[in-house]
Chains A and B, each alone.
Chain A
Amino acid sequence: GAVVSQHPSRVICKSGTSVKIECRSLDFQATTMFWYRQFPKQSLMLMATSNEGSKATYEQGVEKDKFLINHASLTLSTLTVTSAHPEDSSFYICSANQASGGSQFFGPGTRLTVL
């Protein structure tokens, strides 16, 4: 099946710094990518929808100025957590929509820990 990668897989940063997470579709073009957040022992919550060449659509309650999303190409979307705080510590997962097949494929996730 299609492969989606995320980098880094794990990051620890100091409070106030910014962290960039990359999501790549390795063997297909993704017109749409989704960013989810997963708290410990909880489900995935959609943060935003990232469309190639246009602005991301954020879910209610998600600060667009804090979670910057850029979908620069059909194979790459980035999520930047700006001025991170400890409450931003979470597992961030992206998924990519395969343009031709319509299925979603998930990345392995990035665990962010903000000290």
Chain B
Amino acid sequence: GDSVTQMEGPVTLSEEAFLTINCTYTATGYPSLFWYVQYPGEGLQLLLKATKADDKGSNKGFEATYRKETTSFHLEKGSVQVSDSAVYFCALSGRNSGNTPLVFGKGTRLSVIA
């Protein structure tokens, strides 16, 4: 079945450092790919998404490019802030997440220190 693998955490960075969280997937067909963020004590929020190969999703300085050839959707940010500390989940959906559930990676906890 479909699956998502993302790098193990926790990841600890200093403020303004470059962030990469790796995510690879296994899926049949052409899934949509997502990054969700979960701040402490809160629910999941959609950070960005891409629905087809070579699409780049971006939001709040974060970006990820849908790479079909490497089945990857790595999350990057050029300069992290303390407020970016959260758990980040990579996820996929078999379609454009209309009526299909999401398959999640295990999550990567990011801590940014001042």
Q: Which residues of A contact B (CB under 8 A)?
A: 1, 4, 6, 31-32, 34, 36, 41-46, 49, 93, 95, 97, 102-109
Quick check: B102 and A104 within 8 Å, CB to CB?
A: yes
User: What's the Cα separation between A32 and B43 when bound, in Å?
Assistant: 18
Is B43 in contact with A93, judged by CB distance below 8 angstroms? yes
Is A97's CB under 8 angstroms from B36's CB? no
Partner of B106, one of A31, A42, A106: A42
Which A residues are CB-close (under 8 A) to B106? 42-43
Total contacts A to B, CB within 8 angstroms? 51
Q: Which 10 pairs of residues, A with B, have the shortest CB-CB distance?
A: A108-B43, A102-B98, A106-B44, A43-B104, A43-B106, A46-B101, A44-B104, A106-B43, A34-B101, A32-B99
Question: Interface SS of chain B: helix, strand, loop or mixed?
Answer: loop
Instruction: Report the separation of the CA atoms of residues A10 and B42 in the bound assembly, to the nearest whole angstrom.
Output: 12
Task: Check B22 for interface membership: any CB of A closer than 8 A.
Answer: no
Q: How large is the interface on B (under 10, 10 to 19, 20 to 34, 35 or more residues)?
A: 10 to 19
A109 to B43 CA separation, bound complex (whole angstroms): 6
Whether B96 is near chain A, meaning CB under 8 Å from some CB there, is yes
Complex A-B: 24 CB contacts under 8 Å: A1-B46, A6-B43, A31-B99, A32-B99, A34-B101, A34-B102, A41-B107, A43-B89, A43-B106, A43-B107, A44-B102, A45-B104, A46-B102, A95-B44, A95-B101, A97-B97, A102-B97, A103-B46, A106-B36, A106-B44, A108-B42, A108-B43, A109-B42, A109-B43
In the bound assembly, the distance between CA atoms of A1 and B105 in angstroms comes to 24
B residues less than 8 Å from A41 (CB atoms): 107
Give B38 Cβ to nearest chain A Cβ, in Å.
Answer: 9
Report A-chain residues with C-beta under 8 Å of the C-beta of B42: 108-109
* Among candidates B43, B97, B104, residue contacting A103 with C-beta atoms closer than 8 Å: B97
